[in-house]
A and B are shown apart, each in its own frame.
Chain A
Amino acid sequence: MSDDIQKVIIQLPASAEYVDIVRLNLYGIASKMGFSYEDIEDMKVAVSEACNNSVLYAYEQEDGLVDVIFEVGADALSITVKDEGESFDKVKASGERMTLHDKELSDVQVGGLGFYLMQALMDEVNVISESGKGTVVTLTKKLHLSEERV
């Protein structure tokens, strides 16, 4: 087995109608790598949230593009979602631990759950956001195989 990382890159319009295409590609790549059903479901949610951020915050009303880069390693899958729009400070400002657990219904604010879900569902989350240069979110999930693959 080699340690080489192989890349699959797709570029899509920054539009909500294309986020399911990212999920379909993720399913194909992750199942081929041998990830469990539950891990794939977790990644689907996390990657969609990263794409949602680009769709919602990056380009305002203008057309834009989102790059999704799948990096297939021997024991991990990294997915990078990259846009070149405005940075998503809004999302970061809403706090990394934004959950509803310690809140009353009347105090709850709708929104901000996406970033929390990414962190909760992946092994590693890296966000690089530079004003005017866009946002790069990298999500990593480690592959735990019950036995060596043949």
Chain B
Amino acid sequence: MNTHKSEKFQATTKTENGVCTVYLRGELDLSVAADFRLVMEPLVGDSELDLVINMKELKYIDSTGIGILLSILKARHGMDVKFTVEDVPPQIQKLFDMTGIAKFFASQENSH
């Protein structure tokens, strides 16, 4: 396990069959929050696509990152389109449960 090693943040996007998946790597914290917002901005407004964030390789998220996810949830909710997360590592799921953001993701998995 190499969890102590700092890994550079990366976001790569793949669009297939009307679903846009953003794969996150490394640590999503205050120092890369602006980069993350920049990647997400054009995708959030696209109501033609379902938006998914894959967190399999995400090592760490702070309250800034959770805040961005929350603003995306709000924007997508307002447009009545989907935004979900997948492959959430246990230590990140714990933070989602603790803060309460988890229920907003869960409520969408049951819709449609």
Report A's interface with B, CB cutoff 8 A. 16-17, 19-20, 23-24, 27-28, 31, 37-38, 41, 44-45, 48-49, 52, 55-56, 99-101, 103, 105-106, 108, 110-111, 113-114, 116-117, 120-121
Contact = CB atoms under 8 A, between A and B. Distances in A.
Interface in B3-31: 3-4, 6, 27, 29-31
Nearest to B33: A16
Given A27-B4, A52-B64, A106-B74, 11 more contacts: A16-B33, A20-B6, A37-B1, A41-B91, A48-B62, A49-B62, A52-B63, A101-B103, A105-B73, A117-B63, A117-B98
B4 A19 contact: no
B70 interface: yes
Given A20-B6, A108-B74, A113 B30 contact: no
B47 interface: no
Contact of B70 (A28, A31, A108): A108
Contacts of A110: 67-68, 70-71, 74
A56 B30 contact: yes
Contacts of A28: 4
Contacts, number: 80
Scoring B31, B33, B66, B74 by chain A CB atoms within 10 A of each residue's CB, the highest score goes to: B31
A24 B6 contact: yes
Contacts of B67: 110-111, 113
A110 B73 CA distance: 11
A19 B70 contact: no
20 contacts: A16-B30, A16-B31, A17-B31, A19-B30, A20-B31, A23-B6, A23-B60, A27-B3, A27-B4, A31-B4, A37-B3, A41-B91, A45-B95, A52-B64, A56-B30, A100-B99, A100-B104, A111-B63, A117-B95, A121-B98
Given A55-B30, A99-B100, A114 B63 contact: yes
A68 B101 CA distance: 30
Interface residues of B, number: 29
B56 interface: no
B91 A100 contact: no
